[in-house]
Amino acid sequence: MIRLKVGVLISGRGSNLQALIAACATPGFPAEIVLVVSNKPNAQGLDHARAAGIETSVIEHGAFPDRESFDRQVDEKLRASGAELVCLAGFMRLLSSWFVEAWRDKVVNIHPSLLPAFKGIDAHAQAIAAGVRLSGCTVHIVRPEMDAGPILVQAAVPVLPDDDDDTLAARILEAEHLCYPHAVRLLAEDRVKILDERAIIDMPDMVTGPLIHPRPV
């Protein structure tokens, strides 16, 4: 089986990286991680990658005069590794338009909200403040704008009356760890087509019923 080669960009603890590493270690999974790049030398996710025998690289963004010059160095590392898909897993940098276009439809991100709602770094607080009953996570193809692009996979979780940012984040994170490997599998199996900025998924079974919270009694 030919496996899709994946590069992962991180900045921190790498919990979604861990989920991807675990998925790639599953027999028959159609992708493999060939490189993990961090812009921070002390990112915990680097340890996870090294423990799994995955090549790592640290490229500190502060050493570059602008975003594009940093992105070009990341691009060089990714291409040298043979990566065909780039996954952002807690990568706290907005990619330049140059990079996104150089990897058009080959960069994916995961965000802790049901996009297009609640973009940005405070998505959990935004959801609680808005009083929504459901929040969740979204895996999407990356575009130059923050948290924008064709949506691949979403999962909804309830927002409970006593939730704070931390409890909601923990509930959504569990969903993230399921959704990211699922999205990578769809891409690796060539079941995604991008049409007019929509991701068309070739899936035999789709959810058709309503997701209601609180449940009717």
DSSP code per residue over 30-71: SEEEEEEEESSTT-HHHHHHHHTT--EEE--GGGSSSHHHHH
- The average confidence (pLDDT) of the chain is 95
92, 12 contact by CB (below 8 A): yes
Is 48 one of the catalytic residues?
Answer: no
Q: Say whether 112-138+153-201 and 1-103 share the same fold.
A: yes
Predicted pLDDT of residue 211: 77
pTM of the predicted model as reported, rounded to 2 decimal places? 0.94
Residue 92 to residue 216: CA distance in whole angstroms: 40
Residue 68 to residue 95: CA distance in whole angstroms: 8
Using pLDDT thresholds of 50, 70 and 90, give the confidence band for residue 14: very high
Q: Decide which of 3.40.220.10, 1.10.3470.10, 3.40.47.10, 3.40.50.170 is the CATH code for 1-103.
A: 3.40.50.170
42, 119 contact by CB (below 8 A): no
Question: What would the pLDDT profile of 171-213 be if each residue is shown by its tens digit?
Answer: 999 999 999 999 999 999 999 999 999 999 998 777 767 777 7
Order of strands, sheet of 31-38, starting from the edge strand that comes earlier in the sequence? 56-58, 31-38, 4-10, 85-88, 107-111, 134-141, 151-158
Q: What is the bridge-based pairing of β-strands 4-10 and 85-88?
A: parallel
Residue 14 to residue 57: CA distance in whole angstroms: 14
Break the chain into its structural domains and give their ranges.
1-103, 112-138+153-201
Q: What percent of the chain has pLDDT over 70?
A: 99
State which H helix or E strand residue 108 sits in: strand 107-111
Predicted pLDDT of residue 217: 67
Across 139-160, average pLDDT: 97
Predicted pLDDT of residue 105: 97
127, 159 contact by CB (below 8 A): yes
Residue 214 scores a pLDDT above 80: no
Marked catalytic residue, from 48, 61, 111, 177: 111
Q: Decide which of 3.90.226.10, 3.20.20.70, 3.40.50.170, 3.90.1150.10 is the CATH code for 112-138+153-201.
A: 3.40.50.170
Question: What would the pLDDT profile of 66-109 be if each residue is shown by its tens digit?
Answer: 999 999 999 999 999 999 999 999 999 999 999 999 999 999 99
37, 86 contact by CB (below 8 A): no
172, 137 contact by CB (below 8 A): yes
Question: What would the pLDDT profile of 125-144 be if each residue is shown by its tens digit?
Answer: 999 999 999 999 999 999 99
The CA distances from residue 63 to 46, 91, 167, 193, in Å, are: 19, 17, 36, 37
